Structure 1
Amino acid sequence: MQANLTDAELLLLGLVAEMPRHGYELEQVIEARGMREWTQVGFSSIYFVLGKLEKAGLVAAEVPAGAKARKTFCITSSGREVLCEQTIAALGAYRPTFSSLLLGMVHWPVLSRDAALDALEARLPSVVAELERLERVRRQRQPIPDHVEVLFDFSAGQLNAERNWISITLDYMRSKPW
């Protein structure tokens, strides 16, 4: 029905589907749930994205009575339909994400052997630190719903896979003559 939503659009549409909210409430929910661990949506872009969703007819804005009332957004019936379609698509199909690591590996040959190995080895502590940070965030957010718990598991799994890949790759590259 609808063209693919951006990650930010899908996130905000889903949060508005839970209950009508204004932009500041959305920021609070994103922060409280630790959603920035797996999404990229800045506070400054929330109202911009809501405006796009409103123009597309996926949310409707209501301004409650009162001089200082904030515009509250609620999902429309077509918005709910698109949300369901896009959620099924997001769960059901692989969509690649790209890491700067891939660009670094593509350009490996421009570096000396030692510089390339040192750079890759320097990445390892940052991956381990990110794993530790992620686990701290997970503990701070407890209790969290099961579907959120597994999001943390997914991110931790990716970081563990990268940590293992770096170790294996370093061993492999060190074993090769240059």
Structure 2
Amino acid sequence: MRGPRRDAWDGQREHGHHGRRHGGGMRRMFDQGDLRLVVLALLGEQPRHGYELIKEIEQLSGGLYAPSPGVIYPLLTMLEEMGLAQQEPSEGAKKLFALTEQGNDELAAKRADAEHLLQRLAAAKERFSSGRAPQIVRAMENLKLALRLRMERGPLTEAQLQDVAAAIDAAAQAIERS
């Protein structure tokens, strides 16, 4: 575990790191149950596929956070099992989810909390993306995650080390030229 970090929501310090872009990197963006409430609020706006939920949350946070498919899809299954969401007919293999009447009631009962969470997302987006393009922040985090995941798989051969370094150098040079 690392030392204290600044919390993306309110500037408070917390220890460790939980969930960032697709499962690693930054500290926890939501407390227990908060993501469930955000998903309920988004489904309350319109039926959505899991991938649409991931992208919408990423957009709302300015690219700071996108829940992983390994978080969103089990959450949708749980909401379905709880009777709060149901699958709607849709084209293709993607599952489209909408709130049930019980889900709408749950959302109505917690509307103030849901609005507060959406406002926190917007504030985090504003605070952390001021002057920074979300696409670049996302790409930087993706690179860091890819490197970390590759390093965790074990040592690189000399050829692999050279390839990775060359790819990063090429990207740096391309960025400098733009």
Q: Which has the higher helix share?
A: 1
TM-score by structure 2 length? 0.44
**Bigger radius of gyration among the two:** 1
Q: Which has the higher strand share?
A: 2
TM-score by structure 1 length? 0.44
